Amino acid sequence: MNERGKVALITGGARGIGRSIGLSLAERGWSIALCYRTSTTEGEETAREIQELGGSAMALQCDVSDPNAAEEMTRQVENEWRGIDVLINCAGPYHRINLLEETIEGWHSMFSNNLHPVFYLSRVIAPGMKERGWGRIVNFSMAKADQQVAQPQLTAHYIAKAGVLILTRSLARLLAPHGITVNAISPGFIDSGSAPQQELEKMTKHIPAGYIGTTQDVVGVVNFLLTEEARYVTGTNIQVSGGWGI
C-alpha cells in the first residue's frame, strides 16, 4: 500500500510523543487526525505544522473516555477522509498518589483514560480495516507493565497499562487474519514534556543506556510497525527504555 494518502488517528496527538509521531508521518504525506482533550492551542498548532510539512491535518477535541464521543469522532474522520488506516492510542494521563490515599474518582479516571479508550476506538475502527484488508493499531503501555511489580504511587495507572497489553494481544489474535497488526510500545523515561526535568535527570543513573530517551526514539519504532516490513509482527510489546526495567 502506498504510504502517501494513508490516514492515521492519533489520540494524545497535540503534544509529546503523539505530536512527534504526527509530524513524522506528515513528512511522508499522511493525513493525520490528532485528538486531544484539553490542549486546544497545542492541537491547532500541531495541525498547522503537519500541513506545513505536506500532510493533511484535522485537530479534534474529544474526551475519548466517553464511548459515544469516541465513536462520533471516529465517524467524523472516516466521513471526512476515506477511512482510517492506522490507530495510535497514545493518550495516557497519570498522577502520582499513594494507593491508600487515592480517591474513587482518581482510581476510575486512570482506567477511563488509559485502558477503556483503546477498546472503544478499536472496536469502531476495526470493521473498516477488515473491509480494506489492511490496518495497524499501536497501543501505548509503559515499561515494567508486564512484570507485575509493586507500584504504590502509580497503582491504577500501572494496572490500566498492564490491561492495555492484554487487550493488545487479544485484538492481535482476532485481527491477524484480516491483514491487521496490533502491537504495544512501552516507553521508559522519555523526555516528552509530561514529566518534570528534575525527575528525569534523577532517573538517568538507573538507565543502563545512561541517558533519557527522546520522542524520536519512540517515533522510529512506530514508523517500523506501520511498514510492510512489519506485517508479520503482531501481538508484541516493544520496550523503548534504554534497558530500564528489564
CA angle 187, 190, 196 (to 5 degrees): 130
Nearest CA to 195 out of 215, 178, 175 is that of: 215
Q: CB of 146 within 8 A of CB of 168?
A: no
The residues, ordered by sequence, that sit 6+ positions from 155 with a Cβ below 8 Å of its Cβ are: 99, 102
Cα→Cα distances 103→66, 67, 113, 159, Å: 20, 23, 16, 16
Catalytic residue among 36, 94, 120, 158: 158
Residue 85, strand partner residues = none
Report how far residue 186's alpha carbon sits from residue 143's, in angstroms, rounded to the nearest whole number: 5
> Which parts of 109-160 are beta strand (E)?
135-140
* Residue 158: active-site member: yes
Q: Write out the catalytic residue numbers.
A: 158
